[in-house]
Amino acid sequence: MEGDARIALLDLTLLDREASESDLEHLVERANKHLPAAICVFSEQLDGLRDILDTRIKLACVAGGFPTGTRDSTALSEEIRAARDSGADEIDVVLEPGMGLEDSMLLMDSARRASEGLTLKVILETPLLDERSAMGAARIALMGGADFVKSCTGRRGACSIEAAGWLAREVHRHQTVTGELRGVKLSGGIRTSEDLEALLSAVTGEGLSVTDSRYLRIGASSLLDSLLGD
């Protein structure tokens, strides 16, 4: 895949609660220049960004705690609704490992209801999970209405080639069973084009396309410089 095509799949992130207004404006300027799929910030940093962001770029935010997810579904719903009011197009939520089936489904239901009409990306923290647990978490997220299952936050480990394949396999299974095509977001420790190509090979090996930002995203801001240098 050519560099520009890969950039079009990027979620350009700045997940720093201490980021200044100047830092956020620089993020937007960089995005407007290179046209990634989205920019992603914390929900409390959204105000005014939609007004200066190119309309072709989605505005995403992390809601409900990061890198550790919340168990408070009411607070999560309120945060997502506030993000919608501030112009968010997409919501990233951590599904914290070890929550249990009932609590996980309740959190997913709350997130999906609050984000109706927006793109919902659910982070699974696969570095903390084995294959069975990761695919089980992906299944919960997809059945709960996630538009994307995301490999990890990057703060508790990197995305492995194996994990990329697990998520792609579960997305493919979901499509086979329900007819619904959902997406994979690869994130965590992806710094070079070589890192990316290895992960993309794992995704295509499970029968998914890697050319459409509606179904594949890459959460790796440091990767942009590497792609621009290709």
What's residue 226's pLDDT?
Answer: 86
60-229 fold: TIM Barrel (3.20.20)
41-100 pLDDT, tens digit each: 999 999 999 999 999 999 999 999 999 999 999 999 999 999 999 999 999 999 999 999
Across the chain, what does the average pLDDT equal? 95
If one compares 230 and 14, the residue with the highest pLDDT of the two is 14
The structure's pTM equals 0.95
If one compares 4 and 159, the residue with the highest pLDDT of the two is 159
What's residue 207's pLDDT?
Answer: 85
Whether cis (ω within 30° of 0) applies to the bond prior to 36 is: no
Structure tokens at 124: 């699974």
Structure tokens at 215: 């179904």
CA-CA distance, 188 to 30, in Å (whole number)? 21
Domain boundaries, the chain: 60-229
pLDDT band at residue 225 using 50, 70 and 90 as cut-offs: confident
The number of C-alpha atoms within 13 Å of 196 and in the hemisphere containing its C-beta is 25
With 60 as the cut, is the pLDDT of residue 1 above it? Answer: no
Report the sign of the C-alpha dihedral through residues 50, 64, 182, 227, in that order.
positive
pLDDT band at residue 7 using 50, 70 and 90 as cut-offs: very high
With 90 as the cut, is the pLDDT of residue 2 above it? Answer: no
109-154 pLDDT, tens digit each: 999 999 999 999 999 999 999 999 999 999 999 999 999 999 999 9
CA-CA distance, 39 to 60, in Å (whole number)? 6
Contacts of 18 (CB under 8 A, 6+ apart): none
% pLDDT > 70, the chain: 98
Calculate mean pLDDT across residues 191-215.
Answer: 91
66-79 pLDDT, tens digit each: 999 999 999 999 99
Active site residues: 92, 150, 185
With 90 as the cut, is the pLDDT of residue 222 above it? Answer: no
Q: By three-state DSSP, how is residue 60 classified?
A: strand
Contacts of 194 (CB under 8 A, 6+ apart): none
